[in-house]
């Protein structure tokens, strides 16, 4: 909201500079977004009257003027403006004046004639970008008065960045009330006189749904002269508030809106058919707005109508067929309180953003609706003449003002400072809050102009604002530190991140919203959870996997010529089972490029399934993982697997499918994994074991199996046999080729045996090995000779 500082100071005038006032407002939560001068700096420029104009003897386009600047003798000034004439009043820069751009006015001779100043245009004073000649003032402008004083140019424009909860400050009245409360200055509201009825007669007003419009006030004013020029003081205040001048009646309603924060509308009474009705629009009704835009309405839109047609979008904008023109003689003034829920979002549906909707969506002071109508009537009669009728008013149930309990002890606890009951009472009085004090308890009734007060914390915030955030000391927190219990069976997330970084991965953070097609392609999720109001079309659904963000970040890096990328992310994934929404935490990673950075000590080798599998095993260590071949929509059919702990599937690993590799413009395949974070944070508690004093025994078993038999199956079978003294079974060789028939492969396992109490003998070792060989035979494996 933008307004003139001079206008504000006509209501409340604290002994503060403009900058100090801006700081006070900002620290109280009304952020001053901009503070700018109305006019650039210039001096010694006065209102002057041209007494005579004669042609310059030596120049066809110059005139020699005698100019009255309020002194005993007129000044002689040479002027080349085409519109110079006897009797006009214009700005005159006297000798010694400094104009914008550090342009100094000196005594000069122009083609042999002495010139004692300069008659100015608005461009030369820095108040316009172009002009057709001298700036012509009103004939009543006082000669000799400084132009800055005459035009009130020693003014500042203040722009507030209002938060949605402070609709009470959408008018000069509310801002002045706030400044008075913050500074303790005298609050001097304008005097609004109730206007007596000059004739008997009023329009009938019907409100169909009083929940949407709890209060509607209207008044008929007859015999107005709408062709009157809007007074300069109203023009000036509106223009400095960023509002366009239209005609005197509309300017008055806009002025009242800026002054009191109550939007108003004026109808040409001659265009109305019957009475006024506030109702919901009917399906497919149409309305041409004041700006010329035609809109199609439905039952969700609140409108103002007469007996024949829709006249206006309630609380948003009027219609073109019923607006006030300069020929209007009878006016119907409207001031209403609309429920914020009935207005919110309606303007945006039609691509509109109006000053009225801005205020009604946030809530206006319903106790001041009639006051605003009286103020508009008072100005209209004083400026345009005419007679006013009685007020037509329809009232329903106003918003409840429920008392809020404020505890002095709670104020001290939240703010960290002790305020006496008397101090709090003084602050509440300055805010114009009604309250009852009972000991250290306050029962506060929020005023009608504050829609943002509903709980105790809101009142504590008000106390803090007025006391001053700067006055609250920054104290170091003091509290007893207690060591929280730490379970060794839980692995903290920070340690997991450290392991990933140690494995040369870099962490990313991506949005939980992704493109719907990405969910379908990479996750096989045909029914992702859709957002009701997505911030962008490519962020329309909730992710069910972290793969989308990782692939996006990988492509971002590849587009910037990064040859080696290793990324990971932890975050929430979302799914829906029946009517239940499920949120799970996962860790996911992706690796692309070579295993090691480019160097002289190792040949470049692209990362593959087994490299990332090693990273995953290191991440879960000391837990043992199993990898079961399976298909995933995002992964290569023959190079993907489920990650299993015990009998539970905890994730996926595999190389990106060649189709997606090609679609995402990747020169080589990337390897991706994703695991449940709950499984990753669970770990086994270390157990004390005696260090063996005797050497271990190694036996190698090489077997022939069909290609379809996985090494993991054989290892699981041998370990499940629980052969005595067997400490470890590890696959160390896979062979296909000469000596091995087609369709088979050779697998070699290292079996480690050990006893902590003695050295094992062959008689103890052989039965264990025989048991393992028997287990392998049952799995279809043949011992190689």
Mean pLDDT of 71-94: 92
Percentage of the chain beyond pLDDT 90 is 74
Tens of pLDDT, residues 477-508: 778 888 888 888 888 899 999 999 999 999 99
The CB density around residue 590, as the number of other CB atoms within 10 Å, is: 26
| Confidence check: pLDDT of 221 > 90 | yes
**What confidence tens digit (pLDDT) does each residue in 142-180 have?**
999 999 999 999 999 999 999 999 999 999 999 999 999
Q: Give the residue among 269, 275, 228 at the shortest CA–CA distance from 252.
A: 228
pLDDT for the residue numbered 64: 92
Nearest Cα to 510, choosing from 563, 568, 564, 557?
568
Is 84:91 a contact under the CB 8 Å cutoff? no
pLDDT surpassing 80 at residue 573? yes
What are the tokens at 85? 């004439």
Q: Name the token pair of 188.
A: 């001097």
CB-neighbour burial class of residue 608 (10 A; exposed 0-12, middle 13-18, buried 19+): middle
Give the pLDDT score at 475.
Answer: 80
> Helix, strand, or coil here: 699?
strand
3-state secondary structure of 145: coil
The answer to whether residue 689 scores a pLDDT higher than 90 is no
Q: Determine the pLDDT at residue 281.
A: 92
Q: Are strands 635-645 and 626-629 parallel, antiparallel or unpaired?
A: antiparallel
Could you report the per-residue pLDDT of 361-413, keeping only the tens digit for each? 999 999 999 999 999 999 999 999 999 999 999 999 999 899 999 999 999 99
E strand or H helix at 458? helix 456-467
pTM of the model: 0.68
Q: What percent of the chain has pLDDT over 70?
A: 100
Among 481-490, 707-716, 734-743, the least confident range: 481-490
pLDDT reading at 785 higher than 80:
no
Count of beta carbons in the 10 Å neighbourhood of residue 612: 23
How do residues 178-211 score in pLDDT, each as one tens digit?
999 999 999 999 999 899 988 888 889 999 989 9
Note the pLDDT tens digit of each residue in 229-267: 999 999 999 999 999 999 999 999 999 999 999 999 999
pLDDT of residue 112: 83
The token duo for 710 is 């996985």
What's the mean pLDDT when you consider all of the chain?
Answer: 92
- Give yes or no for a contact between 500 and 525, defined as CB atoms under 8 angstroms apart: no
Residue 516's Cβ-side half-sphere holds a number of Cα atoms within 13 Å equal to 11
């Amino acid at each position: 909201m933008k307004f003139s500082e001079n206008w504000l100071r006509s209501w409340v005038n604290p002994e503060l500079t403009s900058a100090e006032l801006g700081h006070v407002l900002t620290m109280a939560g009304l952020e001053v977004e901009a503070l700018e001068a109305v006019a650039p700096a210039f001096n010694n420029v006065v209102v002057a009257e041209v007494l005579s104009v004669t042609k310059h003897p030596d120049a066809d386009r110059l005139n020699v003027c005698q100019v009255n600047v309020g002194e005993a003798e007129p000044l002689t000034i040479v002027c080349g403006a085409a519109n110079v004439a006897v009797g006009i009043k214009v700005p005159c820069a006297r000798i010694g004046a400094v104009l914008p751009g550090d342009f100094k006015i000196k005594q000069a001779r122009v083609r042999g004639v002495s010139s004692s100043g300069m008659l100015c245009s608005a461009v030369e004073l820095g108040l316009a970008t172009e002009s057709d000649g001298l700036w012509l003032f009103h004939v009543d402008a006082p000669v000799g008065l400084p132009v800055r004083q005459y035009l009130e140019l020693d003014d500042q424009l203040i722009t507030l960045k209002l938060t949605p909860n402070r609709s009470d400050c959408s008018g000069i009245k509310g801002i002045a009330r706030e400044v008075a409360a913050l500074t303790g200055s005298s609050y001097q509201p304008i005097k609004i006189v109730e206007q007596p009825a000059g004739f008997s007669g009023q329009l009938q007003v019907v409100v169909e749904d009083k929940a949407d419009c709890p209060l509607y006030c209207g008044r008929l004013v007859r015999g107005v002269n709408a062709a009157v020029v809007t007074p300069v003081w109203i023009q000036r205040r509106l223009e400095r508030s960023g509002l366009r001048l239209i005609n005197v009646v509309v300017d008055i309603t806009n002025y009242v809106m800026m002054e009191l924060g109550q939007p108003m509308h004026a109808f040409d009474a001659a265009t109305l058919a019957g009475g006024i009705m506030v109702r919901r629009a009917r399906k497919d009704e149409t309305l041409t707005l004041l700006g010329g835009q035609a809109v199609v309405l439905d039952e969700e839109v609140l409108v103002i109508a007469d007996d024949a047609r829709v006249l206006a979008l309630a609380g948003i904008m009027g219609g073109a067929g019923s607006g006030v023109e300069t020929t209007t003689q009878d006016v119907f003034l409207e001031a209403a309180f609309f429920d914020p829920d009935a207005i919110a979002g309606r303007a945006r549906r039609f691509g509109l953003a109006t000053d009225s909707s801005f205020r009604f969506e946030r809530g206006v002071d319903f106790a001041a609706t009639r006051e605003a109508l009286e103020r508009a009537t008072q100005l209209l009669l004083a400026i345009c003449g005419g007679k006013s009728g009685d007020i037509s008013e329809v009232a329903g149930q106003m918003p409840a003002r429920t008392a809020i309990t404020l505890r002095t002890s709670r104020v001290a606890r939240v703010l960290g400072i002790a305020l006496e009951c008397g101090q709090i009472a003084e602050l509440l009085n300055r805010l114009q809050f009604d309250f009852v004090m009972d000991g250290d308890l306050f029962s506060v009734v929020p005023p009608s102009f504050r829609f943002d007060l509903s709980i105790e914390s809101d009142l504590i915030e008000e106390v803090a604002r007025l006391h001053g955030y700067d006055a609250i000391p920054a104290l170091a927190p003091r509290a007893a530190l207690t060591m929280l219990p730490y379970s060794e069976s839980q692995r903290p997330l920070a340690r997991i991140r450290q392991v990933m970084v140690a494995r040369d991965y870099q962490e990313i953070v991506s949005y939980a919203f992704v493109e719907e097609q990405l969910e379908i392609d990479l996750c096989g999720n045909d029914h992702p959870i859709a957002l009701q109001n997505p911030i962008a079309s490519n962020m329309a659904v909730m992710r069910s996997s972290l793969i989308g963000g990782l692939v996006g970040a990988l492509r971002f890096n590849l587009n910037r010529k990064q040859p080696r990328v290793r990324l990971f992310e932890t975050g929430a994934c979302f799914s829906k089972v029946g009517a239940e929404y499920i949120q799970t935490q996962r860790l996911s990673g992706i690796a692309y490029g070579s295993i090691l950075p480019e160097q002289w000590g190792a040949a470049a080798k692209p990362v593959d399934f087994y490299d990332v599998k090693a990273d995953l095993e290191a991440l879960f260590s000391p837990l043992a993982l199993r990898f079961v071949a399976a298909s995933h929509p995002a992964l290569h059919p023959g190079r993907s697997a489920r990650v299993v702990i015990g009998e539970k599937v905890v994730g996926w690993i595999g190389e990106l499918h060649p189709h997606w590799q090609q679609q995402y413009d990747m020169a080589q395949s990337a390897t991706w994994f994703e695991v449940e974070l709950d499984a990753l944070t669970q770990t086994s508690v270390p157990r004390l074991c005696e260090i063996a004093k005797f050497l271990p025994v190694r036996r190698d078993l090489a077997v022939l199996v069909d290609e379809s038999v996985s090494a993991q199956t054989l290892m699981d079978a041998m370990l499940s046999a629980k052969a005595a003294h067997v400490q470890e079974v590890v696959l160390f060789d896979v062979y296909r080729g000469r000596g091995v028939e087609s369709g088979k492969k050779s697998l070699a396992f290292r079996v480690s045996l050990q006893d902590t109490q003695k050295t094992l003998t062959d008689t103890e070792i052989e039965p264990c090995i025989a048991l393992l060989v028997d287990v392998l035979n049952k799995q279809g494996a043949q011992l190689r000779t």
